[in-house]
Amino acid sequence: MSRLVILSNRVADLRKTSQSGGLAVGLADALRQRGGVWFGWDGETLQTQPREATVEQVGNVRMISAAMTVEDYMNYYVGYANSVLWPLFHYRLDLVDFHAPYFDAYQRVNANFAGLVAPYLQDDDLIWVHDYHFIPMANCLRRLGCRQRMGFFLHIPFPPPDLLAASPNHRYLVEALLDYDVLGFQTTADTINFRHYLEEWGVGEVLDERTIRYKGRTIAIDRYPIGIDVETFRDMARNAPDDVRIDSARREKLGRKQIIGVDRLDYSKGLPDRFQAFGKLLAQHPELEKQVTFLQVAPPTREDVNAYSDIRDELEGLTGSINGRFSDFNWTPLRYIHRPVPRETLAALFRASHVGLVTPLRDGMNLVAKEFVAAQDDEDPGVLVLSQFAGAAEDMTEALIVNPYDTDTMAEAIHQALMMPLDERKARHKALLDHILHQDTQRWLATFLNDLETAGGHTNPPPDS
Ligand code: ADP
C-alpha cells in the first residue's frame, strides 16, 4: 500500500485528534494505517520568510508544518483565500474583494509550501491536497519534478462558470485543478458546474461525466460527499454533561421546546435570515409564547476579514430586537452564544432539541446537518430544517427542505417541525440516519483513496511547466 501525504491548510495534532472534529480523526486514521506525511500551515506568522518547516514524527506519520510571513498572512490567507475564493465559491460576488497582490501571495505561498514539503516525498506516495487554500499545489509540486499521483478535494461549493468568470484568475484556477489526477467535489451540482466551465471556456475535453482529457493527460472527476463518524457522535450525544441534563429537565417541566442552530459566524450560513424567520414565527404564532426557545451557537471566525465583523453587528442587533419585542421576565426566546462550545456539549444539546436549523445560503456539505441527525433519540427524534443550498440537501431529502432566502416559508417550516407527529418524525429520522450511515467518513476516505490509487497518475505524461 502506498504511503499517504495529506496537505491541508492546518494540521491536526495526531496525539489529540479525539478532541477535534470527525474529519481530522478520519484523516489521522487513514494516515496511521498507511504511514505518511501531513503538511500544513502552523498558524504562526513571522516577520521574515521561514526557510524550514517544523517536523515531528508521531508513530509512522510525519507531521510537518510551517509558518508564513505577516504579509503573506494578510495577502494570501485573509486576502486571496478568504476575501476572494471563499465568497466567490459561495456565490457572493458582492463580497469578493480582489487585489492583485492577493493573487501574487497565493501563488507565492503555494510555491513556498511545495518547496518545504517536497524533500519529504517518496516516489510512490499518494498525495491528497485539501481545499481552496491549495488549488495550485499540484502545479507547484509538478514544477519541482514531482510525478506522484495527486488528488484534490474541494470542501466548499464549485460555482457556475459565469460566477467564476468574475474572478480575474478564473482560467488559472481551473487549469491548476487540471494538474491533479483526481478531482473530488461534494455534490453532483459542483461536478456539473466544473464540467460546464470546461465546455464554455474551451479548456480540456470532457470525455464523459467522470473523465477529462487535458494536455494529453486523463483526469478523473467525481462527487465524494463528506460524512461524519455517526456512532462516535451518537455515543457522545447520549452522555450529556450534567448542565445540559439539568437545562433539559427544566424545559421539560415548563413544556418548552428547543430549536437549535450551530454554525461558525460566517455570512454563508444565513444567520440573519434564520433569526428573522424565528421572529416571524413568534409574531405569526402568539400561542408559542413561552413554549419555545431558540439557541444559536455561533463562534467567531476569520475576524480579520471585514465582512465577518459586519455580520456580527447585524446578529447582535437582531437578537436585541427579537428579545426586546417578545421576552418576558421568565422567558428569553432567543439565546445567542458567540463562543466555541465543546463537541460533547454540542452533541448533547442537539439531542435535547426538537428542531435543528441548518439554513446556509450556500454550503459545500454542512456537517452540522449530519451531526444533528446522528445525535437524535431514535424513539423521539427532533426534526431537521435544511436549506436547499446546502450540499447535504442532495441526499438528505427527508429533512424539511427550505429556501433560506424566504423567511416567511422558513417560519412556517419551523412551525411544521415543532408540530410534527411522532410517527412522521420517526420515519423521516430513520431515512436520514440511513443516508448518513451510508455516506460516513470511512466511505468518503475509502472511495477517494481508491480512485486516487487507480488513477492514471504514473502513466500520465508530466504537465507543461
Ligand atoms: P464549516 O466547515 O463551514 O464550518 P460544517 O457544518 O461542515 O461547516 O462543519 C462545522 C463543524 O464545526 C461541525 O463539526 C460542528 O460541530 C463544528 N462546530 C460548529 N460550531 C461550533 C462551536 N460553536 N463549537 C464547537 N464546534 C463547532
Active site (annotated) includes residue 235? no
**What ligand 1 atom has the least distance to the C-alpha of 226?**
7
- Predicted local confidence at residue 177, as pLDDT: 98
* Mean pLDDT over each residue of the chain, to the nearest integer: 95
- Predicted local confidence at residue 459, as pLDDT: 53
Cα–ligand 1 centroid distance for 368 (angstroms): 6
The pTM score is 0.96
How far CA 85 is from CA of 91, 149, 165, 167, 225, in Å, comes to 10, 25, 12, 9, 21
10-residue mean pLDDT profile of the chain (465 residues): values are 95 70 80 94 92 94 96 97 98 97 98 97 97 98 97 98 97 98 98 98 97 96 96 95 96 97 97 98 98 97 88 95 98 96 96 98 97 98 98 98 98 98 98 97 96 76 55
Tell me the β-bridge partners of 294. 259, 334
Angle at which helices 306-326 and 271-284 pack, to 10 degrees? 10
What is the three-class DSSP state of 56? strand
The residue from 179, 190, 363, 451 that is catalytic is 363
Rounded to whole angstroms, the Cα distance separating 295 from 275 reads: 11
Closest CA to 360 of 402, 316, 398, 301: 402
How many other CB atoms sit within 10 Å of the CB of residue 302?
A: 17
Active site (annotated) includes residue 363? yes
List the grid coordinates of 22: 470527525
The residue from 90, 130, 133, 155 that is catalytic is 155
List the grid coordinates of 352: 435535547
- Predicted local confidence at residue 222, as pLDDT: 98
**What ligand 1 atom has the least distance to the C-alpha of 342?**
25
How many other CB atoms sit within 10 Å of the CB of residue 10?
A: 15
Name the region of 9 (left: φ>0; alpha: ψ -120 to 50; beta: rest): alpha
- Predicted local confidence at residue 465, as pLDDT: 45
List the grid coordinates of 165: 468568470
The strand pair at 292-297 and 334-337 is best described as parallel
Give, for 174, the enclosing helix (H) or strand (E): helix 170-177
How far CA 64 is from CA of 11, 32, 180, 209, in Å, comes to 8, 15, 22, 36
Q: How do the residues of the chain divide into helix, strand and coil, expressed in percent and rounded to 5?
A: 50, 20, 30
Is 262 a pocket residue for ligand 1 (Cβ < 6 Å)?
yes
Q: Which residues of 177-188 are buried (b: 16+ CB within 10 A; e: fewer)?
A: bbbbbbbbbbbe
Is 271 a pocket residue for ligand 1 (Cβ < 6 Å)?
no
- Per DSSP, 73 falls in state I
- Predicted local confidence at residue 304, as pLDDT: 87
Instruction: Give long-range contacts, CB 8 A cutoff, 24+ apart: 314-317.
Output: 314/272, 315/265, 315/271, 315/272, 315/275
